[in-house]
Every structure is written in C-alpha cells, then in structure tokens.
C-alpha cells in the first residue's frame, strides 16, 4: 500500500491469527491503514494504554476515526459495511447466512481448537520457566478470566493429551465440514470469495503443525484445491498469512 490513511489504525501482531483475518480483509479491500505492532511476548496487549482501546487485552483492535472496534470477525464485517467497494459479503441472503455460520464456527470452535492443540508447545516453555511470583504478576495483568486460567494451566498444569485430542477432533470436524461445502461450490459461502474464506485462512495455514497426529490437508481434496486457489490471491501474501515457527522468545499469538 503506497499511502496510509490516518483514519484507520490496526493494532495487531504478525503471528496473531485473529490479526491476520483483519489484515487479509484490509488488503482484499485495498484499504490503506496505519500498522501499530504489539509485542505479545512482552505482554504489551495488557498495558493500560492498550486496555483502554480493548478491555479484553488481546489483538487486533481497529481504530477508525479515533473510535476502537474490537473482535476480529466483527472488525471484518465493520470494514465491509463502512467501505462497500470490493464487497466480501455475498448479496444472496442464503449465501450470506452460510458466510456468517462459518464466521461463528471459527469464533466458537476453530480458535479454541488451535489454542488448546498448540498452547503447550507455544507458551509452555516460556510459562513453565516462570517462578510463582512472576506468574502471579502475569496473571494479574490478564483481564479475561478464561485466558488467565489458560496461562495458569499451561504454566503449572499443561493441557492433557485428552484435551489436545479433543481439540484435534474439532479441527478434523472443521475440515470435514469444509470438504462438504466445497464439494458443491468453489468457496465456503457459495460462488463468491467471502469473509468465510478469510476467517479460515489463518488456521488452515497451520494444519501442518498437526501432521504428525495424522491431520493432512491432502486427505481433503476439495479443501486442498480451495487452499491452493486461496494462496494465489495477492492480498493473502500481503497480509503475511504464513506458517508459524515455534521458537523460544519469538512473539507468537494463537488467536
């Protein structure tokens, strides 16, 4: 993007899947924006300044004309409503409903599945090295009780094999549902590319994290074809939707 619109600011992290959904939307709609990166490894998302924008203490947050909009799926619809050019929502009411069902599924099932399936290998090494005082300080800074409990658990009681297997079952279920929908239409909501495809993209790019547990995109031919077509979109490249490297002290987010 050659110009920056001061009216649009995105507070985000490169590896945050939720941030990626919004970046993909911005790039598809060719909307210039000011990028404000947060270092999640340093818990900048829990700073008082950021919490005034987003009381949940996670990314992303869009600021438009000085007013914050939070929750990635809502941000994406907001952008499509306010900036109608290059629409990412189907005109057909049934297709629009399909799009929103997929958005809801991602918010309620997919995000949590990837969190649980990967938190031990991602946050575990950092969290387990904290002493009790350091952990207590981190927990006090986390405003959402469920996220606070996740941090406590991964620090002292990592997700069990049963927890992880349940999460992987939900990932398999997601791929099964995608395969079914894509068997009858080229895109998840029907004949046109939409926010449904955008919302799944940051998670499908991470499928290989679970290849050793038998989750292989190649076993879902319609999904694989969809993914290959999705990767050809220039906006996806610009949004930096890429596999995540789980390395110590690397700023990584799983939502």
Structure confidence at residue 126 as a pLDDT band (50, 70, 90): low
Residue 41: the pLDDT is 82
Beta strand 8-12 pairing with 34-37: parallel
Residue 103: the pLDDT is 97
Residue 111's alpha-carbon distances to 104, 147, 168, 206, in angstroms, are: 10, 13, 12, 12
One fold for both 8-82 and 93-234?
A: no
Q: Would you tell me the crossing angle of helices 145-156 and 132-141 to the nearest 10 degrees?
A: 160
Candidate from 24-28, 61-65, 206-210 with smallest mean pLDDT: 206-210
Residue 211: which residues within 8 A CB-CB, separation 6 or more? Answer: none
Residue 6: the pLDDT is 59
Residue 138: the pLDDT is 85
pLDDT digits (tens, 9 = 90+) for 28-84: 999 999 999 999 888 899 999 999 999 999 999 999 999 999 999 999 999 999 999
- Domain borders along the chain are 8-82, 93-234
Residue 205: the pLDDT is 96
pTM above 0.85, yes or no: yes
The class (CATH top level) of 93-234 is: mainly alpha
CATH number of the structural domain 8-82: 3.40.30.10
**Mean pLDDT of the 99-104 span:** 98
Largest CA distance in the chain: 55
């Amino acid at each position: 993007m050659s110009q920056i619109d001061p009216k649009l600011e995105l507070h985000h992290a490169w590896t945050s899947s939720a941030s990626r959904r919004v970046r993909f939307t911005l790039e598809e709609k060719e909307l210039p924006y000011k990028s404000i990166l947060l270092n999640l490894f340093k818990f900048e998302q829990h700073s008082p300044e950021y919490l005034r924008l987003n009381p949940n203490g996670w990314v992303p947050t869009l600021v438009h004309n000085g007013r914050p909009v939070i929750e990635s799926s809502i941000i994406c619809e907001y952008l499509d409503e306010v900036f109608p050019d290059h629409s990412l929502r189907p005109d057909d009411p049934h297709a629009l409903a399909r799009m929103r069902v997929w958005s809801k599924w991602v918010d309620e099932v997919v995000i949590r599945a990837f969190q649980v399936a990967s938190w031990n290998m991602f946050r575990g090494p950092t969290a387990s090295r904290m002493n009790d005082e350091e952990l207590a300080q981190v927990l006090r800074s986390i405003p959402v009780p469920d996220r606070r409990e996740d941090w406590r658990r991964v620090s002292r009681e990592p997700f069990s094999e049963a927890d992880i297997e349940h999460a992987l079952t939900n990932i398999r279920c997601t791929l099964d549902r995608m395969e079914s929908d894509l068997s009858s239409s080229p895109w998840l909501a029907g004949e046109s590319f939409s926010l449904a495809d955008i919302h799944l993209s940051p998670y499908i790019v991470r499928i290989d994290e679970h290849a050793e547990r038998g989750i292989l995109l190649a076993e879902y031919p319609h999904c694989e074809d969809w993914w290959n077509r999705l990767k050809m979109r220039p906006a996806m490249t610009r949004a930096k939707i890429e596999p995540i490297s789980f390395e110590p002290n690397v700023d990584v987010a799983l939502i």
